[in-house]
Every structure is written in structure tokens, then in C-alpha cells.
Amino acid sequence: MHASLRLARWLGPWAKDSEVPPDVSRVETTITPSAAGDRPVRAWTYRPSGRPPTGSLLLLPGLHYLGPSDPRMDRFARVLAQAGLLVFAPFLPDYIALELRPSVLRDAERALRALLASPERASSKPGVMSISFGSLPALHLASSDALSRELSSLVLFGGYADLADTMRFCLEGTKGAPHDPLNRPVVFMNLVEHLPDAPEDTGVLVAAWREYITRTWGRPELKHDGKGLAIAREIADQIADPRARSLFARTTGVEPGAMALLDHALARGSEQLRWLDPTERMRAVKVPTYVLHGADDDVIPHTHAALFARGLSPAHVAGVHVTGLYGHTGSSAAPWTRPAELLREARTLVGALGALSRAAG
């Protein structure tokens, strides 16, 4: 069966999220340090069972403490493998820790070299696919003079093209767009050193944010009607330091003032955050690039697909697809009911599946 048809079987609107493709094996390996400053990096390799892979793909996850072990990521990797691909999914240490650090770029390089060294991958060049904040290390690989020569193409799913816009969206969203308020703490975790009135010891504050994240992420019912705020208030009441308690309350939405804190931190930390700007890497991408984004993405707005289309070299934009079928990392309810909407969505789905299939040879 053609890879696109296998993908459609499991990723189309008829597929159930609770069903996992059969005939896929998963093996854990460790990317060992090869230079000073390196750290071991776990990785999961997915293969189709009983047949050789027809292509290979480096799958770079976003900021999530579960990494590839997030059930949605694991299912998606299995779908890709069932379609015939060797899928290599690293547990990027910085992203597992929910931290934006330049070392993630080095770890992505090491992950790609580990995939290239695999004796089981097909002879064709591998593709790279990123989810959410995995877009930055993916752009790093695809814009590298040396590493881009080893790649067939790049797929950016739900990636960010403007950091400040993404962070502001995480705090308040935009009119008429869905918004996940549970992501506010991870924004401020990565700006804590630039926040005004922060306590000298930020450990208590960071621990409180982490507790909030582990208690709320993966529970979509807490996104609405302020239900997540009850957990935030409970955690805030346990913080003894008044300065830390006040910052936690403002950064989680219990009290107003989050946007003012964000603007202050972005201005104060502009130099240290410059490496997170994807603009130059977008311009320097050297491989065919497919941009996929969910129309109702509530973490990074779908308008970033158009920003990528404008920021990438026109010669390397292979396709841009904004679909109503998927949210940030999973399926969502289809909002389209009219024949024209159904036809448009069907075309978008075909384009998205074709991008995934071509990316891995």
C-alpha cells in the first residue's frame, strides 16, 4: 500500500485517536556524548515490522516534559512507521526540562547524525519533521551548510515564526482564536531571570510552575471557564515567599498583570533571547520545506504558517497547508459542514499527507 494511503488510514478524520497502528516495533537507544559538554540523549526508533523501511525521518518534539513518550507523539510516530518509515525520535533534554537553551541545537545535530549512522535506514536521504517548538532546531539543521546536504526535506508542523507573538498568544490569545491558558507558566519559566521583582532564589517559583504544568497539561477540560485557576490558587496558597507568590499568581492568571510582566521581560532579555529568533535560519533553509498548521491551534496561532511562507526562500517553499482537522498536537473537531469547506479540507489533507510521505522519501 502506498505510504500516503497508510497515513490517511490513521490520520484522516475517520481515524480514532484511541487506535494505535499494529506491526510497528519501538526500540530505545542512547546517543552517547562525542564532545566536551555533550550529555547522553535517549531516543526511540520506530520501524515497520516484517519489512524494510522505505524512508527515514527525524522527528523533533516540542516543549513537553514527556517528549516522545507523550501518547499523542508516540501514536503519531507509530503511524509514520506503519506507513513504512524508520522514525527516530530523540528526548531532547532541554525540551524535556521545558527549557529553551542553545544546547538543544547541538542535541538536534547529534540526533540527525545518529539517524544517518543507522544501518537500518533506507539509502535515501532522511527528512526532518518538527512539532511546535521543535521548529527551531529543525530550521537549524535545514539551514546548516553541512547538514542540509544530508536531508531530503523539512516538515514544520505547528511551528513558531515569531517568538514574541507566540508568547503573547500563550498569555491572552487573539480575538476569535482558541487559546490554551495552561501554557502561561512555561513562558515565564524561560523568562524568570528577566522578570521584575523576582526573588533572589527563584527555585520555589520554578517548582510551583512545574507543579502547575504537571497537574494541568493533558487535561483539556481545565482550559475553559477558568477551571485551571483553581489549581493555580491552591499552589499559590502554599508559597510562603510573598514576592514569589505574587509573581506566580500574576503569571498563571490568578491575578492580572501577566502581559506587563512579559513585555518587561522581553525587553530586558532581548539580547539573551536573540538566538530564539528563527528569521535568519528561515532565510537560510536549503531544502524543500512543507509548512503544516492546525487552523484551531491554541498554542501557536495558525497565522505563523503565512509568516513561514514569507520568511522562507520562495525556492524552498514546497507547500503550505492550514487544516481544520488538527489542533496543536492532536485531532480536533471538524468545523466545516458546507460542501465547499469539505472540498477545501479534503485538498488540504491530501497535501499534508503527501508532504509527510515525500519528506521521508
**CB environment 157-196: b (16+ within 10 A), e (fewer):** bbbbbbbebbbbbbbeeeeeebbbbbbbbbbbbbbbebbe
- Label residue 326 by pLDDT band (50, 70, 90): low
- Label residue 343 by pLDDT band (50, 70, 90): low
> Given this model, what pLDDT does residue 330 score?
47
Per the CB < 8 A criterion, the answer to whether 127 and 154 are in contact is: yes
Beta strand residue intervals within 74-126, DSSP E: 85-90
* Residues β-bridged to residue 319: 290
pTM above 0.85, yes or no: yes
pLDDT at 333 over 50: no
Ramachandran class of 106: left when φ > 0, alpha when ψ lies in -120 to 50, beta otherwise: alpha
Model confidence pLDDT, tens digit, residues 18-44 = 889 899 999 999 999 999 999 999 999
> Given this model, what pLDDT does residue 328 score?
47
| Region of poorest pLDDT, from 71-75, 173-177, 231-235 | 173-177
Q: CB 149: neighbour CB atoms within 10 A?
A: 10
Element (H, E) at 6: helix 3-11
pLDDT at 359 over 90: no
> Given this model, what pLDDT does residue 331 score?
43
Which residue intervals of 145-287 are DSSP H helices? 163-172, 184-189, 203-216, 227-236, 242-252, 258-268, 279-284
> Given this model, what pLDDT does residue 123 score?
87
> Given this model, what pLDDT does residue 348 score?
64
Residue carrying C-alpha cell 504537571: 214
Q: Which residues contact 282 (CB under 8 A, 6 or more apart)?
A: 139, 143, 161, 308, 311, 312
Model confidence pLDDT, tens digit, residues 179-209 = 899 999 999 999 999 999 899 899 999 999 9
Across the chain, what does the average pLDDT equal? 90
Per the CB < 8 A criterion, the answer to whether 323 and 352 are in contact is: yes
